[in-house]
Amino acid sequence: MIRFALKCGEGHDFDAWFSSGDSFDEQSEAKAIRCPECGSAEVSKVPMAPAVLRGRKTPVGRDIPSDSPPHGTPEGAGQTYAFLKGLREHLKSNADDVGDKFAEEARKMHYGETEERNIYGEATMDEAKALHDEGIPALPLPKLPGDHN
């Protein structure tokens, strides 16, 4: 996981986590990254200080709670991690998981072919870009470190 400091075209600063630098590039190109304050898709990276670890903070063999940010997370990023974790839990509790049929279900709702409801699932970058091009609202959520274990 990598955290980037971002700024939208309206001048709002925010941070976001990505699985890799390439993941940021793909999502940025697909206009899938949105400013949390104004919704702008005009987003760019801004310079930030690197996170430097000064030694091992977690003893070897100690279990880290699953609701904790990953080891070495820069100070302040824990709030972002907690927010994203809470948002994902809220979605899971209040929306239908449509799996890899996300783009198909979003289109059906947008065009009135099925009843609107809260959904979450998976979409490829091409599917996400096509949804955006059609004016269908959808926002990606980054994978959290615990999702890879």
Lowest mean pLDDT among 54-68, 72-86, 128-142: 54-68
Q: What digits encode the pLDDT tens for the residues 3-54? A: 888 999 999 998 888 878 888 888 888 888 988 888 888 999 888 766 555 5
What is the token pair recorded at 92? 């899971």
Token pair recorded at residue 20? 């890799």
pLDDT tens column, 66-113: 455 555 555 556 677 777 778 788 888 888 999 999 999 999 999 999
Helix axis angle, 102-110 relative to 125-133, nearest 10°?
Answer: 10
Predicted TM-score (pTM) of this structure: 0.47
Domains of the chain by residue range: 2-46+73-148
* CA dist list (Å): 10 to 32, 39, 41: 17, 10, 10
